[in-house]
Chains A and B, each alone.
Chain A
Amino acid sequence: EVQLVQSGAEMKKPGESLNISCRCSGYSFTTYWIGWVRQMPGKGLEWMGIIYPGDSDIRYSPSFQGQVTVSADKSISTAYLQWSSLKASDTAMYYCARRSDHGDPTAYDIWGQGTMITVSS
């Protein structure tokens, strides 16, 4: 079974760093893009960026470039989303998702369960 399992909820203070993970199983990790999507409380979905674990090719949304870092560790089939200095406005649910092999770059067929990040002093 194809699964994306994300790390658990986090409560952090402004200025702290954070690294959340997305462990992928049941398929060849290096041959599918993994994307990240944000959903702020009461708001819609926002596409943040995407990584191809096979060669670490990374694309960011212009809105998130410089705000977060996407990475992956092929040895443990895990993708990461990192912040060096959190802000209260980073409070949101974050999803990882596998881009499907249909060809449509907007199609994500398998999603993680989401990781809730709360940033508050």
Chain B
Amino acid sequence: QSALTQPASVSGSSGQSITISCTGTNSDVGAYDYVSWYQHHPGKAPKLIIYDVNKRPSGVSNHFSGSKSGNTASLTISGLQAEDEADYYCCSYARSSREFGGGTRVFGGGTKLTVL
């Protein structure tokens, strides 16, 4: 299973909006509405910010939003704040052989967000 493709880095000014893409195939992102996004500050544990493509867990700010079109999922962060500076990872459910329960999970390579 190859990693999903994310841009290595994105940047934006405080208050602006940015979008991070996550491109897979019709065996993962395109096949299931199971895409999640994680925010990862160095030295801390990853934090779930989006699941089921576009749902936010309780307590996660509504300036995070998710979407999907075909084989590409996207995370949009509106009204950038300094504390949004972190690494962001997408994760998709993916088809696998019956030996592996019929499905596996694959992460994207990660995107470093810099808030200017």
A interface, CB within 8 angstroms of B: 35, 37, 44-47, 59-63, 65, 95, 97, 100, 102-109, 111-114
Contacts and interface: CB of A to CB of B under 8 A. Distances in A.
B106 interface: yes
B35 interface: yes
Report which residue of A95, A106, A107, A112 has the largest number of chain B beta carbons within 10 angstroms of its beta carbon. A106
Given A45-B110, A62-B96, A95-B45, A104 B52 contact: yes
The 10 A-B residue pairs with the shortest CB-CB distance, nearest first, are: A111-B45, A107-B51, A44-B110, A47-B105, A59-B101, A104-B51, A106-B91, A106-B36, A45-B107, A104-B52
B59 to A, nearest CB: 10
B15 interface: no
15 contacts: A35-B105, A44-B107, A44-B109, A44-B110, A59-B103, A62-B1, A65-B99, A102-B55, A102-B57, A104-B36, A104-B55, A106-B92, A106-B105, A108-B46, A113-B45
B108 interface: yes
Interface string B23-55: 000000000001110101000011110011001
A57 B115 CA distance: 42
A59 B104 contact: yes
Contacts of B40: 45
B93 interface: yes
- The winner among B36, B52, B99, B109 for most chain A CB atoms within 10 A is B36
